[in-house]
Amino acid sequence: MVIFPSIFLSLYIFAGQRGLQGNYGQDAPFILVGSMAMAFFFLLLLIPLTLSLSIPKTLKAVLSLMWLIIGMWVFMLSVSLAFGSWDGKFDVIADMTDDLEDEGFFLSPNSLSILDVGCGSGLFSLTLLKRMQSRGTEGKVWCIDVWREKDQFGNTDDNIFRNAEIEGVDPSKLHVLTGDVRDMPPEWTNKFDLVVQSLALHNVEEGEFTKEAKEERVKAINEIVRVTKPEGRILMWDICPGDPKWTGGCAIKEFYEQMEKLQEQRQPLLEEVELDGPIFVFSPSYIVRGRKKDVD
Ligand SMILES: C[S@@+](CC[C@H](N)C(=O)[O-])C[C@H]1O[C@@H](n2cnc3c(N)ncnc32)[C@H](O)[C@@H]1O
């Protein structure tokens, strides 16, 4: 009996992973479990409420509707987290890689140096390396992460090598470093042809929507610009959960604003800065692109 659903689920996950076979982990696992439990709790509350004889009918109807809406809303949040991790993010990252290919990035005659900040289990790094391998492009990917379990389930620096083996990627093309994006090695100044980031920078600091956290994210952007080579590209995808007026913050739009500032100053550091989206994976999310100016 269980064999058909299992085959279906495996096919679904395989197709959803755009040909990748590794385990790239559940993002925000505690929020997923918490929202599932909350949804279950609200829907469960409906039973005593509807059975109760002492509550007037109209009040019962209003309360039931309220519980149902809250329960369904929280349930949808958990579904979007699961869907994003097991399907949606593979599509977004594959599409971003296709865009790079269309721009001729993989035709570079020089060996490419790429940095994936907050790389987690290596989804972006390995997608890029697989593409480079299949196009015969020379180059390496550096990954930097603090491996926080709260941000991705079972987050350790081993996962990326395990996934590299599963994907058939040469591990000598990977350099994995434990470190903070706000304080990257000084010798990385002007090093990378491309710096990518997926779903990581909103996690840079605890208390995502406080003023201090915003300042920390600006530090991260400035570091990313520092390590990018003149003429090198920056490519970032992150979430924007709701209107900043209500939620108090939208990390990816802050990156965009900071990158625009760097583009508009008297001696601009960046050019071709643009914001793309919304993309409805996880919550509304956006892609920000930019290129570091070649200062003569
Ligand atoms: C939601 S996960 C996304 C991982 C991966 N980029 C992906 O798309 O699957 C966020 C990652 O950012 C990392 N991270 C959070 N704060 C960081 C920081 N200050 N410096 C480096 N990495 C950080 C976490 O450890 C985690 O691996």
Domain annotation covers residue 145: yes
pLDDT score recorded for residue 2: 44
How high is the pLDDT of residue 205? 75
Q: What pLDDT is stored for residue 1 in this prediction?
A: 44
61 Cα–ligand 1 center, Å: 44
pLDDT at 112: 98
Per-residue pLDDT of the chain (296 residues), as tens digits, is: 445 544 445 545 545 577 788 889 888 888 888 988 988 888 888 888 888 878 888 888 888 888 888 888 888 888 888 888 888 999 999 999 999 999 999 999 899 999 999 999 999 999 999 999 999 999 999 999 999 998 998 899 999 999 999 999 999 999 999 999 999 999 999 999 999 999 998 888 766 667 777 788 889 999 999 999 999 999 999 988 765 555 556 778 888 888 888 888 888 889 999 998 889 888 788 999 999 998 76
pLDDT at 58: 87
Instruction: Indicate if 47 and 141 belong to the same structural domain.
Output: no
- Asked if 121 and 163 count as a contact pair (C-beta separation under 8 A), the reply is yes
Largest CA distance in the chain: 80
Report the C-alpha gap between 276 and 289 in whole angstroms: 8
Query: Of the residues 87, 160, 203, which should be mutated to test ligand 1's pocket, given the most ligand atoms within 8 Å of the CB?
Result: 203
Return phi, psi of residue 289, to 5°: -120, 155
- For the CA of 148, the closest atom of ligand 1 is 25
Q: Tell me whether residue 169 is in a domain.
A: yes
Q: Are residues 91 and 76 in the same domain?
A: no
Asked whether residue 14 is assigned to any structural domain, the reply reads no
Q: What is the tally of structural domains in the chain?
A: 2
Q: What is the pLDDT of residue 134?
A: 93
Ligand 1 centroid distance, CA of 205 (Å): 11
- Domain for residue 224, yes or no? yes
Q: Which pLDDT value is given to residue 57?
A: 82
Same domain, 26 and 91: no
Instruction: Give a yes or no: residue 8 inside a domain.
Output: no
Contact present, 285 and 277 (Cβ < 8 Å) = yes
Residue nearest to atom 14 of ligand 1 (CA): 118
CATH label of the domain that carries residue 231 = 3.40.50.150
Q: Which of 65, 80, 95 is the last residue of a domain?
A: 80
68 and 102 share a domain? no
Q: Is residue 265 part of a domain?
A: yes
User: What's the domain range around 51?
Assistant: 22-80
CA neighbours closer than 13 Å in the CB half-sphere of residue 146: 13
Pocket of ligand 1 (CB under 6 A): 24, 27, 89, 118-121, 123-124, 144-148, 151-152, 155, 180-182, 198-200, 203-204
Are residue 45 and residue 158 in the same domain, yes or no? no
